[in-house]
Amino acid sequence: MKSIHYDSEGDILTITFVKDRAQPRRGVELSDNIVLYFNPKTHEPVELILISYQAMLQASAQKPLRLPGLQTLSPSARNTVLRIMRRPPIANFLRLETGTRVPSSYPANVFTSDVLRAVT
């Protein structure tokens, strides 16, 4: 992992996994609040953006967050993204649930409020 940045004003958590951010990347909006960027050639994650992170944690305490963006992908792209999500480092931040019609996720509560203030 290269860097973690938390914007407390916007409640946006950005996790960057590579040093070279200029490499090829494809973005997938998994939900209104979750965007995953990955290298389409290597299938390695480049960046994960979690918008309204604190609200997502609270909402996911009740039920998993749906990932409707996966349904809009071609079968090949969907399989690639699911493979990326099932292994670290993405699996360290999102726990994928696939037993439902629409795949869903529980964001990992890996950051306390104090830690989020430290990475701001």
| Domain around 36 | 3-118
Give the model's pLDDT for residue 117: 55
pTM listed for this prediction: 0.84
Q: Is 13 exposed, middle or buried (0-12, 13-18, 19+ CB in 10 A)?
A: buried
Rounded to an integer, the average pLDDT of 54-66 is 83
Residue 108: pLDDT above 80? no
Cis peptide before 68 (omega within 30 of 0): no
Total structural domains within the chain: 1
Residue 97: pLDDT above 70? yes
The structure tokens listed for 119 are 């990475």
What distance lies between CA 7 and its chain's CA centroid? Answer: 16
Terminal C-alpha separation, the chain: 17
